[in-house]
Copies of this chain bind each other. A is one copy, B any other.
Amino acid sequence: MATLRTPDPNPGWLSELALQETRSRVPMLYVEAIPVRVADTGSIEHVGLLLRGSATGEMSRSFVSGRVFYGESVREALMRNLEKDLGPAAFPRLPVSTVPFSVAEYLPVPGVSPLHDPRQHAVALTYVVPVVGECDPRQDALELTWLTPQEAIDPSIAAELDGGRAHLLRQALAYTESLG
């Protein structure tokens, strides 16, 4: 996505400058997906967490996440970001409705809300997405770790989850009745 052709094949793409300017003006719309492995009954068996090197060089864990581009539908943005973060053979099962289980509000100032993103005010529509294929993390993600719900809410993992996402994970596990 680094080279801009004419006519622009990817209208959602913005120059770094335009993106920075936009981020200072309006809340940015994101989609976020928590990848899961499910049993035949739909119960969650494992939660997938991406291990990433953050901008400051520290390791942190995160979910599938990315902007909704201009002109792109929420479903298209979900598909694109799942493929970007999990590779082309993950075979995600997208939800039948775009109603999210949570509207995640990331504010630039820490401490205002449980979720925090120093770069911007972001609002993410969040989904729990079963994946059945092979996941091959791309871009900046080093690996995808599958944890049981019980392992995933361990305080040591919560501490590694980026931007307060342990809060979002607890919401997802409550919504899917995955905690005993």
Q: Taking beta carbons and an 8 Å cutoff, which residues of A are in contact with B?
A: 14, 18, 22, 24-29, 36, 38, 40-44, 67-76, 78-79, 93-103, 105, 107-109, 113-114, 121, 123, 125, 128, 130, 167, 170-171, 174-177, 179-180
Contact = CB atoms under 8 A, between A and B. Distances in A.
Contact of A68 (B75, B109, B123): B123
A68 B122 CA distance: 11
A96 B130 contact: yes
B180 A174 contact: no
B27 A79 contact: no
A70 B27 contact: yes
A22 B42 CA distance: 30
Given A70-B26, A97-B176, A123-B29, A41 B130 contact: no
A180 to B, nearest CB: 5
B36 A25 contact: no
